[in-house]
Amino acid sequence: MTDLALQVRGLTKSFGPVLAVNNLSLEVIRGEIFGFLGPNGAGKTTSINMMVGLLEPTCGDVLIEGFSIRANRAAVLYHIGVCPQETILWEKLTCLEQLEFVGANYNIPRKLAREHGSELLEALGLAAKTNELAGRLSGGMKRRLNLALALVHDPQIVFLDEPEAGLDPQSRVLVREYIRYLARRKTVVLTTHNMDEAERLADRVAIIDHGHLLVQDTPDALKRRLGEGAVLEIELAGQNGQVPEQSIQHALECIQPIYPGAFCADDLLTIRGENLAARLPELLQ
């Protein structure tokens, strides 16, 4: 049996003339935490949505535990759990009723769903809210309940889109610890725009920007390759306040051979690495 839980092959998505994800290929090893790192709008969520079958790729394919998402979507869905960036709950159901409802959709007997659901609520610090309506929970509690919903059917691979978004500090610590616990027996794929989050959680990290995979490695190896400490931010300007996409791509094509982790978000070019001051004239040519 292969050790690969996830294989992404040439995944591409276009929305009209906009190329959101461009020929993405990568592999995730069973039992690891794999992080997608990039600024907002980099293509992380679009990539995840294609991997889990929520969005049809323009071309390419995804294999999850050997099953093609395009050819055998029904089989794939039983292997994966998805916690989206947006909190999706039924506000007039209790926490436990939410888990029972999702379990029923996976043909899990109600008794088993209640037992597993209660275990998840306990692990995520929500045991005291078991019979509380979801609409009355705090934002951090709702995010934790959303994570529990992704796990009630005991999937082999868990996809977490910005799992720390909207969390208070206490919830953030709890969720991080639980993600590490999950990785003892599951494969975890998460997205983040926070390098600290990726460094603390992920075994390997892929940096994506403008739909392109720039580099992937362990967090420590990436820091050695991309440098630490010095960060240079350059605000790009264009006519009428708009910077043409081709100008952004040209800037990245010039800089990324020197600093592979450079990325652009909201017309702000960010470069991280060593000897930035000495190489500034070269970068600005």
- Note the pLDDT of residue 283: 65
CATH number for the segment(s) 4-220: 3.40.50.300
Could you tell me whether strands 18-29 and 4-15 are parallel, antiparallel, or unpaired per DSSP bridges? antiparallel
Rounded CA gap, 264 and 232, in Å?
12
- Note the pLDDT of residue 239: 67
Q: How confident is the model at residue 247 (pLDDT cuts 50, 70, 90)?
A: confident
The DSSP secondary-structure symbol of 166 reads T
pLDDT at 251 over 90: no
Q: Quick one: what percent of the chain has pLDDT higher than 90?
A: 55
- Note the pLDDT of residue 266: 64
Q: How confident is the model at residue 284 (pLDDT cuts 50, 70, 90)?
A: low
pLDDT in tens, 174-208: 999 999 999 999 999 999 887 778 888 999 999 88
- Note the pLDDT of residue 189: 97
Using alpha carbons, select from 143, 128, 145 the residue that is nearest to residue 93: 145
Partners of 203 in the β-ladder: none
Partners of 216 in the β-ladder: 206
Amino acid sitting at position 122? E
Per-residue pLDDT averaged across 1-27, rounded?
A: 91
**Please, what's the b/e burial string for 24-37 (b: 16 or more CB within 10 A of its CB; e: otherwise)?**
bebbbeeebbbbbb
- Note the pLDDT of residue 135: 93
- Note the pLDDT of residue 261: 72
Partners of 4 in the β-ladder: 29
pLDDT at 258 over 80: no
pLDDT in tens, 30-83: 999 999 988 878 889 999 999 999 999 999 999 999 999 989 888 899 899 999
Rounded CA gap, 99 and 110, in Å?
10
pLDDT at 270 over 60: yes
Spatial neighbors of 123 by CB under 8 A, at least 6 apart, are 178, 181
Domains in the chain: boundaries: 4-220, 227-283
